[in-house]
């Protein structure tokens, strides 16, 4: 699917036309983050915008936006710092590359198994972290429910 030619939109550098590229202001507004945050992620190597205009303005693709959402999810939901997040994203990027190479058999069979085993271990480790957080939150919720129940009791015989 090719989007109709829109005025003022730079050509998609990586070839996959994923719709119009956004300026940093529009991207930040759509994501609910600050422009400063987007520039900071780039400075740390977490997210490089897909393009720049000849004038030097950053242009963000739909994939770029999805990546930022992933960053925020890992930050707010799991409490990871940006260095840890970089580790997770790097793993996911490498896994995507391996998947790409899969039909074109550029990677040897043994090497494939080795990499896949590595990825599997990392994903399962992340799953453990998530599960632990879920368990703690369920305990927290149970305590809250008990507290709420006690207030109801007090209200009954007040």
What residue ranges bind its own copies (CB under 8 A)?
73, 76-79, 95, 99, 102, 109, 112-113, 116-117, 119-120, 123-124, 126-127, 130-131, 133-134, 136-138, 140-141, 144-145, 147-148, 151-152, 154-155, 158
- Rounded-to-integer distance, Cα 144 and Cα 147, Å: 5
Q: Among 17-25, 90-98, 133-141, 144-152, which window interacts with DNA (CB under 7 A)? A: 17-25
Question: Which of 4, 11, 15, 56 forms a contact with DNA (CB under 7 A)?
Answer: 56
Rounded CA separation 23/51 (Å): 10
> For residue 4, is it left (φ>0), alpha (ψ between -120 and 50) or beta?
beta
Question: Is residue 5 involved in binding DNA (CB under 7 A)?
Answer: no
């Amino acid at each position: 699917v090719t989007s109709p030619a829109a005025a003022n939109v730079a050509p998609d550098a990586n070839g996959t036309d994923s719709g119009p590229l956004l300026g940093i202001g529009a991207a930040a507004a759509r994501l609910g983050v600050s422009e400063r945050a987007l520039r900071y992620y780039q400075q740390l190597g977490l997210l490089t915008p897909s393009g720049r205009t000849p004038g030097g303005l950053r242009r963000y693709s739909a994939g770029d936006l999805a990546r930022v959402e992933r960053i925020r999810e890992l930050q707010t939901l799991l409490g990871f710092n940006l260095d840890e997040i970089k580790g997770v994203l790097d793993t996911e990027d490498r896994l995507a590359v391996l998947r790409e190479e899969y039909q074109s058999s550029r990677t040897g069979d043994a090497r494939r198994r080795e990499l896949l085993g590595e990825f599997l271990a990392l994903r399962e480790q992340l799953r453990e972290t998530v599960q632990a957080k879920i368990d703690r939150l369920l305990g927290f919720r149970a305590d809250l429910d008990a507290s709420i129940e006690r207030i109801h009791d007090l209200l009954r015989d007040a």
